[in-house]
């Protein structure tokens, strides 16, 4: 069967994958009520599974030609809810500083507002590579900060913290790209 004649249920797979991210985010809070190393490993696993659904929804949307406006809208929101839920937990566990969380949150609110204005002006701002790299880096850095693995001079926590700060820089860079893209396209 070709991709163009995919079974109707396959067209719903991308939104199912996106919905899984929405559903798994609260489990990070529930699981981490007990802050033991074993529980943090479970949280890292949950986060990694949820992160894989970000790749999977895009893959299925392209494979089954199931891209939709709803999917384009919900995918980044699911990413943000998952990442921000994890970062709030990490802040509470004192594994990240409040500055990185504040910058990421402010950037996401700003971009959400910019996308709303762009939609009202019928301007479509395509996703930028810096934004995709930012998300990918966060999806790698966050589970590193949940677990305590010591590699001699480097720990998974420290590696994750460095990765998070690199993602903060990419966040600011991509915010500039989105802003520039909006003004260029309107």
SS3 assignment, position 95: coil
- Which residue matches tokens 């700003």? 110
For residue 155, which phi and psi values (nearest 5 degrees)? -115, 160
C-alpha to C-alpha distance for 117 and 101, rounded to whole angstroms: 24
pTM of the full structure: 0.86
pLDDT in tens, 83-98: 999 999 999 989 999 9
Domain with 105 in it: 3-185
* pLDDT the model gives residue 6: 54
pLDDT in tens, 123-181: 877 778 898 899 999 999 999 999 989 988 899 999 999 999 999 999 999 999 999 98
**Tally of domains in the chain:** 1
Instruction: Give percent above pLDDT 70 in the chain.
Output: 96
pLDDT of 110 > 90? The answer is: yes
For residue 66, which phi and psi values (nearest 5 degrees)? -115, 25
At 140, which CATH number?
1.20.120
């Amino acid at each position: 069967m070709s991709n163009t004649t995919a079974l109707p249920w396959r067209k719903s797979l991308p939104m199912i994958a996106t919905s899984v991210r929405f559903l798994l985010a609260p489990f990070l809070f529930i699981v981490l009520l007990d802050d033991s190393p074993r529980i943090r490993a479970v949280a890292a696993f949950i986060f990694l599974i949820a992160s894989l659904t970000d790749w999977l929804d895009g893959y299925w949307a392209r494979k089954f030609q199931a891209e939709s406006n709803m999917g384009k809208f919900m995918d980044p929101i699911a990413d943000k809810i998952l990442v921000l839920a994890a970062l709030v937990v990490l802040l509470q566990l004192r594994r990240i500083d409040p500055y990185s969380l504040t910058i990421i949150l402010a950037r996401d609110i700003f971009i959400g507002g910019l996308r709303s204005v762009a939609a009202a002006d019928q301007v479509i701002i395509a996703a930028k590579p810096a934004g995709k790299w930012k998300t990918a880096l966060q999806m790698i850095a966050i589970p590193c900060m949940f677990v305590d693995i010591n590699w001699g001079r480097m720990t998974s926590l420290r590696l994750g913290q460095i990765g998070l700060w690199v993602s903060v820089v990419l966040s600011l860079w991509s915010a500039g790209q989105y802003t520039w893209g909006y003004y260029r396209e309107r």
